[in-house]
Amino acid sequence: MWDYNRAYYGREGRSTTTAVWAVQRASGILVGPLVAIHMIAPEAAASAWLGGLLLVLVLLHGGFGIWRLAARPGISRLGYRAAVVSIAVGGAAVAALGAALVLALA
C-alpha cells in the first residue's frame, strides 16, 4: 500500500492520491467550457446528457475539494467530520435537485 505521508519543503503532510488529483483537475477543466456551451447554445441547455454530465462534474469537483480542504493539517476532528457531513448532505441535495432537473429535460 502507498504511504501518502510525506515531508514537503520541510513540513509534514499528506499528499493527495493520484486518482483524486486527476478527477479534480479534469472536472475543473471541463466545467468551464461545458457551462459556457450550456449558456450560449439554447438547444444545448435542453440536453439531458449535458445536464447530467455537468451535475456529475460539479458533484465530483465540489465533494473532492471540500474533502481535500478538510484533510489539511490543523483541522480538528470535529471540523473534518463537519466537512464530511456537509459533503454528504449538500451532495445529496444537489444530486436530488439536479437529477430532478435532468429527468425533467429528458
The model's pLDDT over 24-77, given as tens digits with 9 standing for 90+, comes to: 888 888 888 888 888 888 788 788 888 888 888 888 888 888 888 777 777 788
What average pLDDT does range 77-87 have in this prediction? 86
User: Which pLDDT does position 31 carry in this prediction?
Assistant: 86
27: Cβ contacts below 8 Å, ≥ 6 apart: 57, 58, 60, 61, 64
pLDDT at 19 over 60: yes
Q: How confident is the model at residue 12 (pLDDT cuts 50, 70, 90)?
A: low
List 14's β-bridge partners, or say none.
Answer: 5
Q: Where are the domains of the chain?
A: 17-105
Rounded Cα gap, residues 65 and 23, in angstroms:
10
pLDDT at 1 over 50: no
